[in-house]
Every structure is written in structure tokens, then in C-alpha cells.
Chain A
Amino acid sequence: MRSSSPVAFPTLRQRLFSVWYRHVRVYTKNLISNGLPPFLEPVLFLLGVGMGLGTYIQESMEGLKYIDFLGTGLLVTAAMFTSAYECTFGTFIRLEFEKVYDGMLAAPITVNNLIVGEILWAGTKGLFFTFAVMCILTLFRIIHLPQGLLAPPVGFLTGLMFGTLSLWVTSYVKTINHFNFYLTGVISPMFFFSGVVFPVSRLPSSVRFIAEVVPLTHAVRLARAVCTSRYHLSQLGDLAYIAVFIVVMGLLAIRRLRNRLIT
């Protein structure tokens, strides 16, 4: 028998927030072990590669000193790695080992709410990791405030891109070891060939189009643009790519994971 008044279940905003909040609470529970490495990693990178190897590189890259070129690229690779790990290993463990989703889906949220919440969480981690790199780059005087503050939003978008892509990949994965193919075969190559460690223009022309197809290249361009305040109309194209990628990949991920979560 239907009750006469409609059931006042939480609004969409509340439902998405509650999924996101769950992840924030679990992540911040181990604040030191989770929150410190994002600050340490860029330091290691800048010291080892930027200042060590970089001193041998006299040539400017896209008009930047090598350490500045590398540093601005690291802003978004940090976001890429964290969201890729979160939505592969993290999601798979919640799905198959910890059965966290079984509990969450018993509460008044839909599968779509759950997956969108995951994507927003991936974006948030991207934002935080880029923020950490931004702090270090500012300390090293590689970038400057306030324009550096535009980098974390780019990190958020990067997190959304790699969150959706990784969830889509996860929807196919049956055993956790299969993620190695994706992380070593897709994510790591992107780090090296998307204009982070050297300009895309140096790639052989026959493979340069690949760099244009993959998502990281566009995020790197935006990050560098906001940090150096060198804007160009073509960056609207990068922004459009990112928006379309998030929407299309997000829909694919939802559709695939839905079938896995609702039998």
C-alpha cells in the first residue's frame, strides 16, 4: 500500500555528497600516510630529474627552462596517477573484496549516484594532488601565486578524466592483476609522451597524432597555460576535448559498471 504522502528520500545533491563524504572520511582517517606523499613526490622529482638531470639540459622547452617545463607538467601527472589508482585498485577492492558497495547500495542511493560519486571523488583527489604539487612548485619558485591557484581546478578536471577512464577499464576487469596492463601500458606511456618530460613537437610526426588523442596532453597544456599566463585560442580546444571526454567516458563507465552492480 502506497503511503499518501511521497517519501522524502534525500535529494540528488545529498546523495552524491554522501558518497563523496564516505570517501573523504575514509581517506582522511590516515591523514599522514595518505596526505604527505603527494607533497614529497614532486620534491623528489624536482631534485632528482629537474635539478640533477635538468642541469645538463640547456635548451629551453616551449620557451621555459627545463625545470619549469617539467614542474608545470607534474601538476597534472600527479592528478592522473592518483585518480587512475583510485578508480582501478581502489574501486575494484571496494567492489570485490571489501564489498563496500553492497552496503552503500542498500542505502537510498542509486547505482548511478554511486558511480558519479566515485568520479567526483577521483576529481577531488586530482585537485588535492595538484594542489600539493602547486605548493612545492611555489616553494621552488617555479610557479607563482596567485595564478598558480588555477592549477588545482585543472587537476580536478584531470582527475575526472582519468577517473571515468579508469572506471570504464575497471568494468572489464575480472582479476586485480589485469590493472597492470592498463597502468603500465596506458598510464605510464602517457606520462612520458604527452608533453610532460619533453615537448610533443619533438615526437616523430608519424606518432604525434597519438599524443593529441590521449587525454593527458590536453591537461598538460592547460596547466602550463594557467601557470605561465600564456593563453592561446587553441586551449579552448583542449578544454572542449576535456569536457567531451569526461561526459562520454563517464556515460560509458556508468553503463558498464551498472551492469556489474545490478544483476
Chain B
Amino acid sequence: MKVIQVSHVSKTFGRVCAVCDLSFEVEAGTCFGLLGPNGAGKTTMMKIIYGRSRRNDGGIGTVDVFGYDPARDELPIKYLSGVVPQENNLDDELNVIQNLMIYSKFYGLPGKVARERIETLLAFLELSEKQGAKIRELSGGMQRRLVIARALLNNPRLLILDEPTTGLDPQVRHLIWDKLRQLRAQGTTVLLTTHYMEEAFQICDTVLIMDKGRKVLEDNPRRLLQENIEAHVLEVPVSNGTPVIGESELPAGVRLDRAEGTLRLYADDIDRLKSVADALGDYPHYLRQSTLEDVFLKATGRMLNEKQ
């Protein structure tokens, strides 16, 4: 069953195309990630889904969320969804419980149901000890978890998160990933935006890489890696004294990308990169497995190719 079906959607602000002819579908109970640099159109696409932004009128674009079009029926969509906006917008004047109680009213939850639900959610996000704390007393990670708890108040079938872990430390990030995995295991559909490749790799079943409003690649993150990039990378920082590695000197099956400050050599066969590394001797270099970030940089064309 598809929870979200987006078909040929565009959104222009003046002459800027924030989202250009984008299409994708999100299967129920999966985690779908919109991945892209700042300004790629991720947040705009997300806002179109819950009715906060309107796609361009006319044309062939359609959006279907739980069978509803957000441009006409935003209320049922918002009732079935929880949204974590990019910025934490908690009420500083109120404490943790009061923040959640106010939002329980938006979903029409009776007081007793709301209190039980809040207790469960605070325990789930490991905030029980902070229930009486003022918002200013909470760390950034706690505030983020509280915003996520707020989005979960109505037991949403779809959880929408705009950059859920930006600016958080690794412990909190892993905690949030863990919670999102648990929610998905319970059947919640998760849609998130991120510019952390690792985040996409860790929790998404499907990743859609966006750049300048357009879809660049879409697949399972592991398959994206296998099919779009060589298995290993040798990174060599470039400065004046760097031994110049020309394409002609490279073993067969090694691809060279020259970016600002760094040379990256890609190959499926690690031994070929090792031979290059040996030749570099003491010169600093770093041999590693390639990541989604390499796919991303290749796909969005950030790296200047040798021939460019």
C-alpha cells in the first residue's frame, strides 16, 4: 500500500524552480529519505505533502497522501501524520508536559488519554525525568526529542521529519535513529529529509537524491552504493608538494576525481588502490570504503572531473 504518491510535482518561487517535475512513492511502513544539499527543494517538497506549501497550479502534478490531496484536504492528512519541523519551536514559557498538553488539544485528545499518552512518549524518548523541566533547561538533543514526542502525540501513521538530527551530537543522533527504526518496525511510515549521508544509509529503505529541485537518483541505499560507485576510495590531500598523479600512470580500473583540495581515486578492486598508496609512500593518504556521500557527490556533480 502506498501512503504517499507524488507525481510530476513542480513548485516555483518567482523564477526559481524549488521542486521540478518530481515523482516518487512511499510504501507504507517504510522509511523514505529525501537527500540533498541545502536548497535542493527537500523542505519545500515536504511542506507540499502536509499542505503548508502549495504545488504549482495547473499542469499534471498530483499529490496523494492517504488518499487525500493536501491542496484540498489538509486536515485528514495532518490528523494522520506527525510533523517535526526543521526548527524546534517549543513554547519556552511552558514546561515539558505543558508543551505536550497544549498540542494534545489540537488532536482533540481527552485529558486523561493525553496524560497517559504523554507519559508513554516521554518514556519512549527517554525524557521522563525531564517532564517538569523548563524548555530552556533542556539540551538541544532533549528539545529535539521533545519535538519528536509532540509529533507522535496522535499515534501518527506517517511521521514527517525535516532534518531530524542536524546539529546534534553522535549519541543523540544514534538514539533518534534507533527510535525511528522502532517506529518503523511498529508500522509507522517515515519520511525524512537530511543532508547526512550516514543518516540516510542507517535508517532509510529508500533514498531519493535531489539536487536543484530535481530527482537525481532513487533507490535502496545499499543498491545505490553498489550500482553507482566503486567499492573503495583512496583520498589524497592536494598541496603544492603533491606528487602529481596523472591518469596515464594509474592502473586500469581506477577512476580519478579531482576536487578542490583532494584527489579521490575510485576502484572496485582494493589491491589496485593499495598499489597506488604504496607508491605514495609517506605522503598522507586515506584508503576507505566508499559511502553514500561519494555517490552523492558524483550524482550532484560537485566534483570536478579530470577532464573538466
Find chain B residues with CB under 8 A from A102 CB.
85, 87, 89
CA distance A99 to B87 in the complex (A): 8
Assuming the contacts A7-B79, A106-B151, A263-B47, asked whether A22 and B85 have C-beta atoms less than 8 A apart, the reply is no
Find chain A residues with CB under 8 A from B272 CB.
none
Chain A CB within 8 A of B115 CB: no
Assuming the contacts A21-B102, A108-B107, asked whether A7 and B80 have C-beta atoms less than 8 A apart, the reply is yes
Question: CB-CB contacts of B66-91 with A at 8 A, as 1s and 0s?
Answer: 11100000111011101101010111
Assuming the contacts A9-B79, A106-B50, A110-B75, asked whether A21 and B105 have C-beta atoms less than 8 A apart, the reply is yes
CB pair A106–B108 under 8 Å, yes or no, is no
CA distance A152 to B174 in the complex (A): 54
Chain B CB within 8 A of A100 CB: yes
Chain B CB within 8 A of A14 CB: yes
CA distance A1 to B54 in the complex (A): 21
Assuming the contacts A25-B98, A106-B151, asked whether A100 and B89 have C-beta atoms less than 8 A apart, the reply is yes
CB pair B106–A108 under 8 Å, yes or no, is yes
Interface hits, A99-116 → B, CB 8 Å: 99-100, 102-110
Chain A CB within 8 A of B196 CB: no
Chain A CB within 8 A of B93 CB: yes
Interface hits, B117-152 → A, CB 8 Å: 147, 150-151
Interface hits, A2-17 → B, CB 8 Å: 2-3, 6-11, 14-15, 17
CA distance A125 to B90 in the complex (A): 23
CB pair A99–B67 under 8 Å, yes or no, is no
Chain B nearest Cβ from A93, distance in angstroms: 11
Chain A CB within 8 A of B274 CB: no
CB pair B66–A2 under 8 Å, yes or no, is yes
CA distance A99 to B86 in the complex (A): 10
In the complex, which of the residues A11, A25, A107 has the most CB atoms of chain B within 10 Å of its own CB atom?
A: A107
Contact among A26, A106, A261, A262 with B78 in the assembled complex (CB-CB below 8 Å): A106
Find chain B residues with CB under 8 A from A229 CB.
none
Chain B CB within 8 A of A177 CB: no
| Chain A interface category by residue count | 20 to 34
Assuming the contacts A26-B94, A262-B53, asked whether A18 and B76 have C-beta atoms less than 8 A apart, the reply is no
Chain B CB within 8 A of A98 CB: yes
CB-based nearest A residue for B105: A18
CA distance A104 to B90 in the complex (A): 10
Chain B nearest Cβ from A86, distance in angstroms: 15
Assuming the contacts A3-B66, A99-B87, A106-B50, asked whether A17 and B94 have C-beta atoms less than 8 A apart, the reply is no
Q: Is the interface of A mostly helix, strand, loop or mixed?
A: loop
Chain A nearest Cβ from B67, distance in angstroms: 2
CB pair A10–B107 under 8 Å, yes or no, is yes
Question: CB-CB contacts of A94-134 with B at 8 A, as 1s and 0s?
Answer: 00001110111111111000000000000000000000000
Chain A CB within 8 A of B1 CB: yes
Contact among B50, B67, B89, B94 with A29 in the assembled complex (CB-CB below 8 Å): B94
Chain A CB within 8 A of B223 CB: no
CA distance A41 to B150 in the complex (A): 39
Contact among B47, B76, B94, B101 with A9 in the assembled complex (CB-CB below 8 Å): B76
CB pair B102–A25 under 8 Å, yes or no, is yes
CB pair A99–B89 under 8 Å, yes or no, is yes
CB pair A109–B106 under 8 Å, yes or no, is yes
CA distance A105 to B108 in the complex (A): 15
Find chain A residues with CB under 8 A from B67 CB.
1-3
Assuming the contacts A2-B68, A106-B50, asked whether A9 and B78 have C-beta atoms less than 8 A apart, the reply is yes
Question: CB-CB contacts of B46-57 with A at 8 A, as 1s and 0s?
Answer: 010011111000
CB pair B94–A262 under 8 Å, yes or no, is no
Chain A CB within 8 A of B286 CB: no
Find chain B residues with CB under 8 A from A107 CB.
78, 103, 106-107
Q: Which 10 A-B pairs have the closest CB atoms?
A: A2-B67, A106-B83, A107-B106, A7-B76, A10-B108, A9-B79, A18-B105, A99-B89, A108-B78, A108-B79
- Using a CB–CB cutoff of 8 Å, the interface residues on chain A facing chain B are 1-3, 6-11, 14-15, 17-18, 21-22, 25-26, 29-30, 98-100, 102-110, 261-263
What are 28 residue pairs bridging A and B, where the CB atoms are less than 8 Å apart in the complex?
A1-B66, A2-B67, A3-B66, A7-B80, A10-B79, A14-B105, A14-B108, A15-B106, A18-B105, A21-B105, A22-B105, A25-B102, A30-B93, A98-B91, A99-B85, A100-B89, A103-B147, A105-B52, A106-B52, A106-B83, A107-B103, A108-B74, A108-B79, A108-B106, A109-B78, A262-B53, A263-B53, A263-B54
User: 11 extra interchain contacts, Cβ-Cβ under 8 A, other than A7-B66, A103-B103?
Assistant: A6-B76, A11-B108, A14-B105, A15-B106, A18-B106, A18-B108, A22-B102, A25-B101, A103-B85, A106-B52, A262-B51
